[in-house]
Amino acid sequence: MSGKKNHITKCNLILEEKYVNEVIDDDPLNFANKTVTKIKYPCLGPILSSSVEYVLSKKLNIFFIKYGLGILKRESDFGSSRKYFSKAPFEYMMNKLSEYSPEFKSALQKTMQVFHNKQNWVPSMGVSQMKPEIAKRFGVDIEELMTIPGSLFATTKYLMELYNINKKYYSTTQPSVINVNGKIVTNPNSTGNAALDVSIVSYNMGYEKYNKWFCKTNNSKYLAPCDSPNGLYKPYDSKPKFILKVDKNSVVKNYFPYYIFQKLTSFGYLKEVNNFVKSKNCL
């Protein structure tokens, strides 16, 4: 990715100049000479279409870009959701101050550790709600994360990284499966690619929950990581006496586990992203 000044300038030019509804000659009354500029991806509109073209210019695959778009839609509605507007200034300020002052960052993390039991905490930020240190691995700075093109590039790169991690445990040609009341069935919200399914959700919930094998247990309604210590697994912190015995010889391939964080579920997150992608037939 180019340097900060050039990148920001290019992003702005793409959004403001490349795709306009009409290009008119010098005479404002000469309507006969109006020319309509064609948007490459009309189902997205001019801003998202130009953002996709920007990321394509960086030699990334459209297959991952379209799911990157779905993640931006889910995370902030492309920077237009009420929730995003309410917290974006705080997230930006905390990360910017942490960038300039290691002392501030240390104090912030200690505070979050003491009061919220969060280790090494930094707020996710930007249109894609990404942690700045992840974005920086792909050459995207804090300011670029506040733009759709910058966030889409970083999100697509990270999704590709997660995909390479997860395809060790999940098929790239078969859908994921879920456990419904003790019966293993095809995930109705699957993209058709189990590795992609878990990568999409890993973006929000962390890949550590997924990059492993899952096995059946002594309770048909529950599966558990096959490598559970001593073959035992506690699915609920609030129920310490509820312990599952793991059958390490009964691996369930492409299993998509159900996780919940506040109001967010792994099933719901995948569904929202995949439904958005399916609704955009011009990609």
Query: Does 153 share its domain with 64?
Result: yes
What Cα–Cα distance (Å) separates residue 215 from each residue in 50, 101, 173?
44, 46, 21
Query: Does 233 share its domain with 154?
Result: no
Question: Of 120, 143, 166, which marks where a domain is finished?
Answer: 166
Query: Does 84 share its domain with 152?
Result: yes
Query: Does 82 share its domain with 182?
Result: no
Query: What is the rounded CA–CA span in Å between residue 42 and residue 60?
Result: 20
Query: Tell me: the pLDDT tens digits for 152-194?
Result: 999 999 999 999 999 999 999 999 999 999 999 999 999 999 9
Number of domains in the chain: 2
Amino acid at 242: F
How distant is the alpha carbon of residue 150 from its chain centre? 14
Q: Kind of pairing, strands 264-265 and 214-217?
A: unpaired
Question: Of 126, 144, 166, which marks where a domain is finished?
Answer: 166
Query: What is the rounded CA–CA span in Å between residue 280 and residue 283?
Result: 6
Helix, strand or coil for residue 131? coil
Query: Does 218 share its domain with 187?
Result: yes
In the sheet where 232-233 sits, what is the strand order?
A: 223-225, 214-217, 244-251, 232-233
Q: Please, what sign has the CA dihedral across residues 106, 90, 67, 157?
A: negative
Q: What is the model's pLDDT at position 29?
A: 40
Query: Does 46 share its domain with 98?
Result: yes
Strand ranges, E, within 155-257: 177-180, 183-186, 214-217, 223-225, 232-233, 244-251
Is the pLDDT at 37 greater than 90? The verdict is no
Query: Tell me: the pLDDT tens digits for 46-104?
Result: 999 999 999 999 999 999 999 999 999 999 999 999 888 888 888 878 777 777 778 76
122 against 20, higher pLDDT: 122
Query: Does 181 share its domain with 162?
Result: no
Q: Kind of pairing, strands 232-233 and 244-251?
A: antiparallel
Mention every residue, 6+ apart, whose C-beta is less than 8 A from residue 197.
170, 175, 176, 187, 189, 190, 191, 256, 270
Burial 220-235 (b: 16+ CB within 10 A, else e): eebbbebebeeeebee
Element at 265 (helix H, strand E): strand 264-265
Query: Tell me: the pLDDT tens digits for 134-162?
Result: 999 999 999 999 999 999 999 999 999 99
Query: What is the rounded CA–CA span in Å between residue 21 and residue 91?
Result: 34
End-to-end, the C-alpha distance of the chain in Å comes to: 24
pLDDT confidence bin for 15, thresholds 50/70/90: very low
Q: What is the model's pLDDT at position 233?
A: 96
Query: Does 203 share its domain with 155?
Result: no
Q: Residue 162: which domain range?
A: 4-166
| pLDDT above 70: percentage of residues in the chain | 83
Residue at 172 is within a domain: no
pLDDT confidence bin for 13, thresholds 50/70/90: very low
